[in-house]
Structure 1
Amino acid sequence: MAGLSTKLLTSGQVEPIKRLFMLAAESANQTPEAYRTALMASLAGALFAPAQLHPELAAVWQPQAVQLAKCAAGDLRFFVSPDHALRQLAQWLHTEACLWHPAEDKASRDFFTSAQALAALTAKRSPKDDELGKAVQEALKVAEKSRQRATLAAERLRENELSNLRIQTAEARVVELLDRHLAHRPMPVQLIPHLNTTLKGELQHLALTQAVYTQQPFWQMWERLLPVLGRCFSGAGMTVGDQLLYQTIPPLLEELEQSLALPMVDATAYESWVNELSHCLMQAIRKDDIECEKLAPLAETLGLPASAARVTQALLAELDGLSPGDWFIFDGEHASAQRCQLVVNDGGVDQLIFVDRNGRKLFAKSKQDFAACLSTGIAQPLVHTAPVTILLDALNASAADAGAQQRKLREAQAKEKAAQQAEAQKQQAARKAAAEKALAEARALDEAKAKKQQARATARALAETAAKHKKHEQAVGLVDAMQVGAWLTFAEGSEHAGKRAKLSVVIAKTGKYIFVDELGRKLAEFDRTGLINLLDSGQATIVRNGNNFDDQLVKVIRGLRRDSV
């Protein structure tokens, strides 16, 4: 099941959430009512006694959390209506009550009193929505007006503080640069006042007016010169060798001369400072007596706040991700679990400013100090978790349970369908096997029948062939036995159908057989093969065979005797 949308929690439609709980409850083998009760019991603290509440407020609301969760579980409208009294109460607890901490002002005391009144109203076993709803709405209205006033106050504070902080930051960065290279180093007494005014002023103006001041030629030049300047004068128990003086002072004097060409705020004062510094440097290289004293750190002289915290650049970089409006819980020196809102976090300043829920300034912290507080747990972000987010996460878990139940049902259905398909396939396979067996048997019968028919046909063919051969042999025998005078009868369909013919002459040399009709006229002539085929095919039949030569001779003599008488 896909993740739920916040639209579900503001739709006012009860049926979708009801179906969701039914499926989730079925997955958990519970009734929907029991499932909702268990769900809200697990959310009781998160919704109605947030972990970010100040301990004094938490003591007021924690006893009410379980009862409120039971009331919410019994009303499905709680899950879908943003106007539901308990939803608005949870909203008030997460957006307003979480920002309160004890203070001596009247606004803080009034807020705590109203919170106690709301808690007393919700302590009833079945709080009425109209009564509780009106009280919560009134509390939200008061909080909204207070938030508007606090926003205006914080904005005015930010504008006022930011300009001062930029000046302080620019001064602190210049002082840090000077102290890093000159503090506790011998310096001519006559140069110290001008160092604190002229040079410091020029560098401070640059840091204040230029976004990337460290890339400006004047700043870069003094970043090179200050380390050298700190090693040019002897005194206060510190001595500079001659060789070092000869190597460093001439190039230093040359760069000081070149610096006069750079743009200045007060060119006259700066030129006077450079001339005086150059004079002192010439005295140093000539080994003249110069009254010097160790330069006290300017940060101490000017009374600038110094941070004792030492943090990594990675921790400082994390502060860039903080935005004005972020809230923190701070365990300070004078208050514990103090709620404070960041109102100033500017890249051009080194200080962070925090206010309370009424927009009044609580304290300022350097970025190094606050980074250390975050890393040690003295300060921690106050996370505003919207009640709708808590509910949505819980309902997504329920949706996952419902999805698991649906998957379980689908898997069962798929398993049943697969079993049915397997059974159907099994039956189909059995039917197919039976059909194939029947076809095989039919084919075997057909093959056996075909073999029998083929055997009979072969036998008939052999018999016919034998009969034909016998008939042919008979025809050959008849032709061989045929004598002149033999009579033939031609069958219907032959060339001489219905006629009789007598063999008149056999010409042995040519193998010709000449037949005549009853009148002695030539009727047909065949060769031996043709006569055999004629008899073999049945187109002619021997009616009577002819007499042999002796019989003919007797007949001729008998005829001659009859003629002589």
Structure 2
Amino acid sequence: MAQYQDVRELLGVGPLTAPAKLGDISELETTFYQADDPWAAYRELPFARQAGLPGLYAAWLWHALQDNVQCDHALDASRSAMIGAIVAYVASDEPLTVAHVKQNRQLFDQCFFHLRTWYSGLGPTGRKFTERLTALSESLTKGPEQWAAALTSFNQACDKELDRAAMLAERMQTSELGHIKIAHAQQRVTGIYNDVVALHQLPEATLDFIDHIVLPSLQYLLINESDQAPDWSFWMRILRLIVWSVNPEKSPEDRQAFFNKGPVLLSQLENQSVSKAFSGNVYRDYVDEFSTQIITLLKGQTIETVTAPKRQVSAEVESLSQLQNGGAEHHFSAGDWLEFDSGETLIRCQFLMQAPGTDTLLFVNRSGHKVLQKTVEQMSACFDAGIAQEIPKIPSLSAALAAVNARMENLHERLTTQALAEQQEREKLERQKQALIQAKKRQLLVKKEAEVKARAEAERLALERAAREQAIKARQLSEAREAREQQLRDTLDNLTLGTWADLPLDDGKAVRCKLAVSMRSTNKYIFVDRVGRKVAELLYDDLLGYLLRDEAVFYKPEQGFENRLETIVRGLRRTE
């Protein structure tokens, strides 16, 4: 079965290699079955490893059947053989489908029911039962293939006995009911007699007619019909009319009425159809005799009378009269079985009926014989004293299988829960591990990001520093260029006539020449060669550009004629 395969996988248990022996299973103590962890208790057993999961199932089934299959000690050997056959089969069933047990479950339930209701006091019928049971036990040990036929044969024979017992019990029940009904009718009719007839003056022949015709007719109607039948009203009216008619002490008015009612009374009685309780001859003889008395009274003659005696109710009828409103309550239902053990005698019997109108309970045995009759109060006392106890109405094997399957389901649920908890714990540890890895990764990432950020900051600072340094250098260069330019401007501004210079006048080649004219108003400079020929006329910016590009060289002029001439010319310009 899929469930048991799941249990095997959850337990990691191997396959069956050697079935558990019934002797080993039967020696297990109660503490084993009460263990909180059934598998832990089972795997400690010597045979558990080889017996596998079927061994545990068989042990539980054996224990459940021991509790469910209760019977007379005289049947213990057969009971043990039957349970042993079932348990041995289960212990060797590796897939645990227990197919043969399930197929014959109802047959076993019925068989165990017969065992529970048997006891040694059943006589010949009981001995036949034990003979069949012995043969059944032997057949069951031959293998599960023999179970269905053997159980069917046994149950059919036992069912026939119970059918015969039921028919006997039904006849007995009918007899009991008839007896009770007769007693009840007698009690009712006796009450009517005491109310209507007793203590009145009547002729003896009239008393005979009342005793042998009227009262039996009323009793017959109560037993076979009811007090609602038309004939019941007829005989009640006739009974009162008879007592009134033969009463010797009548008033003149009653005497006159009697002359009218007397003939009518005789006419009604002479109709034979009114009597159902007697043959025509018997009824006619009593009516004829009673008619003679009525005719005598109609003639005005007197008749000798006696006082009708009051009648006593028998003890049985008296008990019925005390229970007219029904018997005491009880908890039994038809078919209930009980065990009654007085200490000296043990019987197992079935509730048959509560006698109508009484508190008497009747019980019969498997043979249909009445074996127990007690009042509700007496039976309650027997239960309180432990003398009587009910035989449980449970299908023994079905209940045992249900109990074992429930235990196996609990084990499966326990193992599943445990496996789930372990899986959740593993997943928790894995999550914790992954969380730790992720935390380390995050820490490493944060560290790397910090390092990148630090590097970026360092690079930024380096760039800023380089920028600052470059700016400084640029400023310094700019200042140097400006200073140089200013210096070169100063050089140009301080040029004097006659100053020699090397200028790139011949396609970039230096040509030595001398400043001959410097016109500041137009920023023009004229240079001549050594013989005084003009070689170049340049602007201030041209000369500045040459100097900036280091293409021109000006020589410090020597103090001589030219210098003096230039001084004179500069002086003249100042005076202008």
TM-score by length of 1: 0.49
Larger-Rg structure = 2
